[in-house]
Amino acid sequence: MKDRLGRLGAAIQHALEQKRLREEKRHANEALRKSEERLELFFAQSLDGFFFMMLDEPVRWDDTVDKEKVLDYVFTHQRVTKINDAMLAQYKSTGEQFIGLTPSELFSHDLKQGRELWRELFNTGHMVSITDQRRFDGTQIWIEGDNVCLYDNDRRIIGH
């Protein structure tokens, strides 16, 4: 009997701990959901153009790598993953046209300029620029950009 009471106490403690963990997980999930909603509102309601370009795989950008080869990879493996309506309006385009574009496609009219911009961004981690871009119909557009690199925990670039 005494042994059963001891096991019952341990079972109750275990059940209470499991309940606490479920509550913590529920609160964390709710906080994440609210954060994602705020990000969506920020994107949807901003008058400024915003986008994310993420890499298929993180890249190291330091003296241990061949930076030209890294740029070769980036220009075919970094893609627009999110873009807001304000930026789409500037380009007179749709999300379907823009999502998935790579730097090679965005700068097909001037790859040299594109590579110089990416090199500066990766060297400094942040860049403000005015660039010569093209809309999907080929017309020229000047874009003022404020870009910031995104890094993983190992300080590898994952996008901007």
Instruction: Specify the pLDDT at position 149.
Output: 98
Per domain, the residue ranges of the chain are: 1-45, 47-159
Mean per-residue pLDDT of the chain: 91
Across the chain, which distance is largest between two alpha carbons, in Å? Answer: 86
Q: How many residues does the chain have?
A: 160
- DSSP per-residue letters across 72-99: HHHHHHEEEEEE-HHHHHHHT--HHHHT
CATH number of 47-159: 3.30.450.20
Min mean pLDDT across 31-40, 74-83, 146-155 is at 31-40
Instruction: Specify the pLDDT at position 58.
Output: 98
Contact in structure between 106 and 78 (CB atoms under 8 Å): no
Q: Which of 77, 85, 37 is nearest to 157 (CA)?
A: 77
The more confident residue out of 17 and 7 is: 17
pLDDT tops 80 at residue 139: yes
Indicate the pLDDT class of residue 15, thresholds 50, 70 and 90: confident
Tens of pLDDT, residues 52-104: 999 999 999 999 999 999 999 999 999 999 999 999 999 999 999 999 999 99
Instruction: Specify the pLDDT at position 3.
Output: 66
Predicted model pTM: 0.78
Instruction: Specify the pLDDT at position 4.
Output: 67
The more confident residue out of 148 and 12 is: 148
- DSSP per-residue letters across 49-63: --EEEEEEEEE--ST
pLDDT tops 80 at residue 8: no
pLDDT tops 90 at residue 46: no
Helices and strands in the chain: count of H runs, count of E runs: 6, 6
The more confident residue out of 32 and 1 is: 32
